[in-house]
A and B are shown apart, each in its own frame.
Chain A
Amino acid sequence: MTDASLSTWVHRRAEPSWLGRLFDSKPFLVVICLFPAVGLLMTFLTYPLALGIYLAFTDTTIGRAGVWVGFENFTYLLQDPIFWNAVFFSVFYTGIATIGKFGLGLWLALLLNNHLPFKSFLRAIILLPWIVPTVLTAIAFWWIYDPQFSIISHLLIKTGLRETNVDFINTAWPARWSLIAANIWRGIPFVAISLLAGLQTISPSLYEAAMLDGATAWQRFRYITFPMLLPILAIVMTFSIIFTFTDFQLVYAITRGGPVNSTHLLATLAFQRGIPGGQLGEGSAIAVSMIPFLVFATLFSYFALARRKWQQGETND
């Protein structure tokens, strides 16, 4: 380093340049640091959402730009039995699958919370269904439910329990239950592992105290485990409901909404009308109509399950 550069450096340090002063200014730093995040959100979240909502009020098709038609798409949907069927199945699918996932997931979490041999190995295995990409799960189930080549039908016929193939997805109700079963299978690990994390935060001293008081296993679960688990249960359930309600891949890959539209979820129906059917406006209207359901589901699980004093910042009961 030469003398000249050293003196320059000292000089700058004594009196910062406009750039230095700029970077010292807090408002400027706030703006510059927020910009990437806000920019990304605006570009990839707000803009598409706003565009989707706008499209829902137009008659845009893939071939041409549409004109503003107000609530025409929605009034058509209100009298479209296929739409109402999709609303019904979305709610039914979400409801039953969530109950199944939480029932089985909680049970699994309680089992894993015990001292078992190969505990960490078992926990890793449990996660597998969730790690596998959904579309692969869907393809596997598609084969399992195939009208001709189902492994389950094959085994049942081999063992003489049945004479014909099982009807998994050829008629409406079996198809609905089959899809719910696939969704539950896929969703259990997420619930189980999240609840297991919750279980491990419960202090063993509570159980010890309960046992000294002579509490039964059920009483310990009902009055210690369950209340202590509720906050995490609320969060996990909110996520689970949102994932299930907006599910697309399982249904689209296994039944494509068939037989005769009986297993369309709002998401698959929106895609079917919007992209292959080309009716972008109507497809958007179906997608937009999911928003109230999601808001309601989120509020419900939040307020119904999470209204606990100690959750709102007061640590002491």
Chain B
Amino acid sequence: MALITRRTALQLGASAAALGAMGGFAYAQSDIKTADATPPKLDIEKGASLRVLRPARFVPPDEEIFRANCARFAKETGVEVRVDLVGWEDITQQTAVTANTGAGPDVIIGFNEAPHIYTDKLLELSDVAEYIGKKYGGWLPLAQKYGKKHGTNNWIGLPFGASGGPLVWRKSAINAAGYDAPPDDHDKYLDLSRKLHAAGKPSGFALGNAVGDGNGFANWLIWSHGGFLVDEDNKVAINQKTTVEALKYLQELYKTFIPGTVAWNDISNNRAYAANEIWLTANGVSMYFALKRDPKLAEIAEDTQHSLLPKGRLDQSPMAGLTLNAMCFKHSKFPNAAKSLLQFLLEKEQYDPWLQANLGYWSQPLENYSASKVWESDPKVALFKNVMRSNFWIGYKGPISQASAAANADYIMVQMCAAVASGQSTPEAAAAEAERRARRFFRS
């Protein structure tokens, strides 16, 4: 780990200590394998300088390592790099403004669909992507989906990582209900849920207007029954038999939830879980770390396990991670410098320390980084290393687009589920209403 100077290492140690006990948190030398690959010829422009915009950090070391990596790039190439961090809610709008005005940052690390919306404003990144992919064992499925323009092999985004929301559960409660872990089968899962409810230790999943948790649960419910919002040709396909079956299943499942989940937002399940109100939910890794850091809640953290969402009728657990997606704008005066920076950041000397600094909040997009020591730091976090090994994305099975992003942000799937769960609609009516709303977004 040549890049971490004594001073940054001290700072990192200090900030880690400030956050409280973080388990086996240490910057270790990972054994990342590489294959021979020739980097693309990128002649960095004379006097180049770059502006980079990225979302705010999860944990302080994330920002420190990221800045240190950029500073190192500056030192090696002489390209001045300015890094700005903006709030999560703002990055989508700032990306839109940058793309539409043709001014501002050269590089934005945005979320999910952004490169697919602004394709004609972006530099193609295939040369960098192919080199990095070849060197590090290939891009994982979710990274390929988010990186490549739909139906082509042309890379328009470089995914930097993804964050998923699998099941989080209390071992004691699940075991007391007679299960080792939440089962993959729908009927058995419903049985577990009923037993938890009977034991006064219910489960709870957000059905309110919660962008992350609400969509995560609703997508799982529909996908695991074989349904989807749009088909491969971007035709709305939500109003079908599988959706209705999924919603009927939800009617039964909802009875076993803690009351009030229709009013839940993204934070509600974290609070209820920490207060021993719910014993099974779905969430990102952040909740586990929050519990672990708080001495009063360490007991809950000790009893907590993660596992993938039930597969249901599929052979893979359907979960779409929130993906960090980097893009370079055509308006940049220094396109080669911009591409070089992204390539530099994805090389193991830079990427692995950054991955470790994130403790597992972000999961790698490249096969060989699975060997990173970050996944050995805490066995309960190890599950998250496969977040990008997923064939499901927001807007599955259609192309990633403005429409799929908008349908997600407008809670079409969540509200379809909530309407049935709360008894406001029949499953058939809710599916038809979702179809009506989706058609509006997916009109050409």
Residues of A bordering B, CB below 8 Å? 61-65, 76, 81-82, 145-149, 164-165, 167-172, 175, 255-262, 272-273, 275-279
Which of A76, A145, A277 touches B410 (beta carbons < 8 Å)?
A277
Give chain B interface residues in 275-324, CB to chain A under 8 Å. Answer: 275, 277
9 closest A-B pairs by CB: A147-B260, A256-B209, A276-B409, A277-B410, A259-B262, A169-B263, A63-B117, A170-B263, A62-B96
Is residue B131 within 8 Å, beta carbon to beta carbon, of the partner chain?
no
- Within 8 Å CB of A81, what residues of B? 433
A260 touches B418 (CB 8 A): yes
A147 touches B419 (CB 8 A): no
Most chain A CB neighbours (cut-off 10 Å) among B208, B259, B405, B440: B208
Is residue B38 within 8 Å, beta carbon to beta carbon, of the partner chain?
no
In chain B, what residue has the closest Cβ to A275?
B93
Which of A164, A170, A261 touches B415 (beta carbons < 8 Å)?
A261
In chain A, what residue has the closest Cβ to B419?
A260
- Within 8 Å CB of A276, what residues of B? 211, 409-410
Q: How far is the CB of B343 from chain A (nearest CB, A)?
A: 27
- Within 8 Å CB of B405, what residues of A? 278
B415 touches A147 (CB 8 A): no
A170 touches B409 (CB 8 A): no
| A298 CA to B33 CA, complexed, in Å | 71
Is residue B265 within 8 Å, beta carbon to beta carbon, of the partner chain?
yes
- Within 8 Å CB of B68, what residues of A? none
A171 touches B422 (CB 8 A): yes
In chain B, what residue has the closest Cβ to A59?
B443
- Within 8 Å CB of B268, what residues of A? 146-148
- Within 8 Å CB of B422, what residues of A? 170-172, 259-260
| A262 CA to B418 CA, complexed, in Å | 12
Which of A61, A64, A172, A257 touches B406 (beta carbons < 8 Å)?
A61
B419 touches A258 (CB 8 A): no
- Chain A to chain B contacts (Cβ below 8 Å), 12 pairs: A62-B402, A63-B96, A64-B100, A147-B268, A164-B259, A170-B261, A255-B263, A262-B424, A276-B409, A276-B410, A278-B406, A278-B409
| A82 CA to B415 CA, complexed, in Å | 11
Is residue B271 within 8 Å, beta carbon to beta carbon, of the partner chain?
yes
**Given A167-B260, A260-B418, A260-B419: A172 and B272 interface contact (C-beta under 8 Å):** no
- Within 8 Å CB of A61, what residues of B? 402, 406
In chain B, what residue has the closest Cβ to A76?
B440
**Given A62-B93, A272-B410: A149 and B275 interface contact (C-beta under 8 Å):** yes
| A113 CA to B50 CA, complexed, in Å | 66
Give chain B interface residues in 237-271, CB to chain A under 8 Å. Answer: 258-265, 268, 271
Q: How far is the CB of B206 from chain A (nearest CB, A)?
A: 10
- Within 8 Å CB of B25, what residues of A? none
Describe A's contact surface by its main secondary structure: loop
In chain A, what residue has the closest Cβ to B89?
A276
| A260 CA to B402 CA, complexed, in Å | 23
| A255 CA to B264 CA, complexed, in Å | 9
In chain B, what residue has the closest Cβ to A79?
B436
**Given A62-B93, A62-B96, A63-B118: A258 and B262 interface contact (C-beta under 8 Å):** yes
| A277 CA to B410 CA, complexed, in Å | 5
| A275 CA to B100 CA, complexed, in Å | 16
- Within 8 Å CB of A175, what residues of B? 263
- Within 8 Å CB of A82, what residues of B? 437
Residues of B bordering A, CB below 8 Å? 92-93, 96, 99-100, 117-118, 208-209, 211, 258-265, 268, 271-272, 275, 277, 402, 405-406, 409-410, 415, 418-419, 422, 424, 433, 437, 440-441
- Within 8 Å CB of B118, what residues of A? 63
Q: How far is the CB of A259 from chain B (nearest CB, A)?
A: 4
A62-B402, A147-B259, A278-B409 are known; give 13 further A-B pairs, CB within 8 A.
Answer: A61-B402, A65-B100, A145-B263, A148-B268, A170-B259, A170-B263, A171-B422, A259-B208, A259-B422, A275-B93, A278-B402, A278-B406, A279-B406
A172 touches B424 (CB 8 A): yes
| A64 CA to B117 CA, complexed, in Å | 9
In chain B, what residue has the closest Cβ to A257?
B209
In chain A, what residue has the closest Cβ to B265?
A256
- Within 8 Å CB of B409, what residues of A? 276-278
- Within 8 Å CB of B424, what residues of A? 172, 260, 262
- Within 8 Å CB of A259, what residues of B? 208, 262-263, 418, 422
| A167 CA to B423 CA, complexed, in Å | 15
Q: How far is the CB of B97 from chain A (nearest CB, A)?
A: 9
B410 touches A273 (CB 8 A): yes
**Given A148-B275, A259-B208, A276-B409: A63 and B402 interface contact (C-beta under 8 Å):** yes
| A65 CA to B96 CA, complexed, in Å | 11
B406 touches A258 (CB 8 A): no
- Within 8 Å CB of A171, what residues of B? 262, 422
| A276 CA to B262 CA, complexed, in Å | 20
| A290 CA to B264 CA, complexed, in Å | 29
- Within 8 Å CB of B100, what residues of A? 64-65
| A190 CA to B92 CA, complexed, in Å | 38
Q: How far is the CB of B360 from chain A (nearest CB, A)?
A: 28
In chain A, what residue has the closest Cβ to B208?
A258
| A255 CA to B209 CA, complexed, in Å | 8
Which of B262, B275, B433, B440 touches A170 (beta carbons < 8 Å)?
B262
A148 touches B262 (CB 8 A): no
A148 touches B277 (CB 8 A): yes
A277 touches B209 (CB 8 A): no
Q: How far is the CB of B188 from chain A (nearest CB, A)?
A: 27
In chain A, what residue has the closest Cβ to B260?
A147
| A64 CA to B259 CA, complexed, in Å | 42
- Within 8 Å CB of B264, what residues of A? 147
| A149 CA to B270 CA, complexed, in Å | 12
- Within 8 Å CB of B260, what residues of A? 146-148, 165, 167, 170
**Given A260-B419, A261-B415: A147 and B261 interface contact (C-beta under 8 Å):** yes
In chain B, what residue has the closest Cβ to A164?
B259
A258 touches B209 (CB 8 A): yes
In chain A, what residue has the closest Cβ to B423?
A171
**Given A170-B422, A260-B419: A277 and B265 interface contact (C-beta under 8 Å):** no
In chain B, what residue has the closest Cβ to A145?
B263
| A49 CA to B209 CA, complexed, in Å | 29
A148 touches B418 (CB 8 A): no
